[in-house]
Structure 1
Amino acid sequence: MGYKVVVAGATGNVGREMLNILAEREFPVDEIAVLASRKSLGTEVSFGDKTLKTQDLDTFDFTGWDMALFAVGSDATKIYAPKAAKAGCVVIDNSSLYRYDADVPLIVPEVNPDAVMGYAKKNIIANPNCSTAQMVVALKPLHDRAKIKRVVVSTYQSVSGAGKAGIDELWDQTKGMYVPGQERAAAKFTKQIAFNVIPHIDVFMDSGDTKEEWKMIAETKKILDTSIKVTATCVRVPVFVGHSESINIETEEFLDEDEAREILRVAPGILVVDKREDGGYVTPVECVGDYATFISRIRQDVSIENGLNLWCVSDNLRKGAALNAVQIAELLGRRVLKKG
């Protein structure tokens, strides 16, 4: 016996990835509904070897459905997630709307699976920000061994994190460099993204941090440990898919780089590729389509007493969004609904 599953926002990048991953992982689906806004109504999407037509999110009745994976943005989620939850359908939401709600668990299954039991307060579970998700997967096993005090992270985030418009803008600007008359000014991003990097993701806050940087701080504390101090600089780079992070960690206890490497090798969701030679590390191009969070460049930071540096790469459309949502659905099935 399987589950009745809804994917809302099925025509977007993340929604399509959710469908792909549900099929790839053979999630026990008895029935599936794919929803979209009225402007995308009737659009066909793939689910394994099936082709499905989207239904209208605005009129859909969630009664009798087990779980709904939402990838529709905060504005639409604010309207439709409570309707689904009230109808008894557990919502797994990819937007930022509920991440900081004390009554909604924020979950990365490799890190805080027990938090799933908090779903019952609102019948909603939040999926974290893409840059946070891969980082906490890397931090968790090290934190368990040596207790992390402080994290300094610089991100190198792909344009797909900004949706289809971000991908299109990089593509069009790149073409415009070589094809006269095809030039395209910045629209989705604040400055040219082709052959450039932009130290600005989301809006600026009064502190001088951007909202993306604030998200990494707040979410790491909620998911992993409120006592960890985090500072972040988030940068958009001209890469289509795959977020990279340079992470500096300060621990309470000394942790040797060799021990850290072995801890990470056996940790769930992580693949260590760390050879001190040309090409002995993973780059965004190599992580696309993979489930793993890749860790490379593990080394001691000798500038502080108990410091480590590492390089972290993951497919942001997968672990940073769709995969994590499906893993939450699997966790919910195992721990709570217990049908599959």
Structure 2
Amino acid sequence: MGYRVAVIGATGNVGREVLNILAERKFPADEVIALASSKSTGREISYGDKILKAKNLDDFDFKGVDFAIMSAGSSVSKDLAPRIGASGCIVIDNSSFWRYDSNVPLIVPEVNAHVLDSWLANPHRTNIIANPNCSTAQLVVALKPLHDFAKIKRVVVSTYQSVSGAGKEGIDELWNQTKGIFVNDSPGNGTKFPKQIAFNVIPHIDVFMEDGSTKEEWKVMAETKKILDPKIKVTCTAVRVPVFVGHSEAVNIEFENPISADEARDILREADGISVIDKREPGGYATPVESVGDDATYVSRIREDSTIENGLNIWVVSDNLRKGAALNTIQIAETLIAKGLLPRNAA
């Protein structure tokens, strides 16, 4: 028998992508249930060659559901995830609320799947697993094999994040402002972003913190440490750019041990989840356009940094709606299955 899977926030951008990827990867589900808020109840959503109707999350009974993939925001996760987990259902949460809880594993399967072994063995577990921030997910996939080889000391990352990271409202705002400019009209006052996003870049994602960093920059730092190694020093500048889908990152890495660009290139080519496109010629690198709809994290522009000892620069690109969100949650569920987790209705 297969699994019963509930997708919470199924009518949103990430929820729809979760349903698409479940179907694409032929996830072993006997039943997939689309759940949304009361205002979206009854809305039709595609799941492979099927059409699902969204059910009301507020009165849904999770008894007998094996996995709940949540993409409904922090406030919903805060209230509902513990209750869903208490029913025996495993919650894989896309919000930021549980990421920094010491009792909740923060997982990128290519990087730290081993953490799930002790989690599964714990009879008192919360049944909640956190999915990382979209920028963090692609970053740690690229860093992990390099860290294993030469041990990373410090990472300086600048992100170039697409508007889809801000949800449908972000996509709509870029679209509407761009249309307005092309017809010689005003781009209009934005409501999602603090400044015009069309033909502009904004060095501000999420709220500002006391030290001048934004919450997005803090997330990349804190999550990289939790997932990869707490000893690594991380600093980040997060920038919103007028791209619909696909996050890019310029990453400077300082290692404890020597590593050449050629060694890094060979290591990354053999690593899970990574596609290396690194030709030193015009167009010999990945951009967000190529990443859309692809599962891979792309790495390009691999080169040595002569200004520091044992330094490298790399360029990292990924579809933020896939690896940064939907795909990673499904990979977590697949990893649990591979580790021997049985559906309750088949146990």
Q: CA deviation at 1:336?
A: 4.2
Q: Residue 12 of structure 2 corresponds to which residue in structure 1?
A: 12
The answer as to 2:244 corresponding to 1:237 is: no
Using structure 1 for the length normalisation, give the TM-score.
0.98
CA distance in 2, matches of 1:226, 1:293: 23
Q: Deviations over 1:111-169 (max 9, x none)?
A: 00011232652100000000000000000000000000000000000000000000000
Q: Deviations over 1:229-274 (max 9, x none)?
A: 0000000000000000000000000101101000000000000000
| Structure 2 counterpart SS, 1:58 | helix
Q: Residue 315 of structure 2 corresponds to which residue in structure 1?
A: 311
| Structure 1 counterpart SS, 2:77 | helix
1:285 to 273, 284, 289: 289
Q: Which runs of 5 or more residues in structure 1 are unaligned?
A: none
Q: Is the 8 A contact 2:273 2:295 kept in 1?
A: yes
Q: Is the 8 A contact 1:175 1:182 kept in 2?
A: no
Q: How does 1:263-282 map to 2 (within 5 A)?
A: 263-282=267-286
The answer as to 2:147 corresponding to 1:138 is: no
Structure 1 stretches of 4+ moved >3 Å: 180-183
What amino acid sits opposite 2:90 in the alignment? V
What amino acid sits opposite 1:67 in the alignment? F
Q: Is the 8 A contact 2:187 2:196 kept in 1?
A: no
Q: Deviations over 1:32-66 (max 9, x none)?
A: 11100011110010111110000010100001110
Q: Deviations over 1:159-182 (max 9, x none)?
A: 000000000000000001022556
CA distance in 1, matches of 2:156, 2:342: 40
Q: Is the 8 A contact 1:172 1:182 kept in 2?
A: no
Q: Residue 162 of structure 1 corresponds to which residue in structure 2?
A: 166
Using structure 2 for the length normalisation, give the TM-score.
0.96
CA distance in 2, matches of 1:326, 1:184: 38
What amino acid sits opposite 1:314 in the alignment? S
The answer as to 2:266 corresponding to 1:253 is: no
Q: Residue 99 of structure 2 corresponds to which residue in structure 1?
A: 99
The answer as to 2:146 corresponding to 1:147 is: no
Count, aligned residues? 340
Q: CA deviation at 1:183?
A: 3.4
CA distance in 1, matches of 2:183, 2:74: 37
The answer as to 2:52 corresponding to 1:52 is: yes
Mean CA deviation greater in 113-122 or 325-334: 113-122
Cα distance change of structure 1 residues 227 and 290 upon mapping to structure 2, 3 Å threshold: same
What amino acid sits opposite 2:291 in the alignment? C
What amino acid sits opposite 1:283 in the alignment? T
Q: CA RMSD in A?
A: 1.1
Q: Percent identity?
A: 68
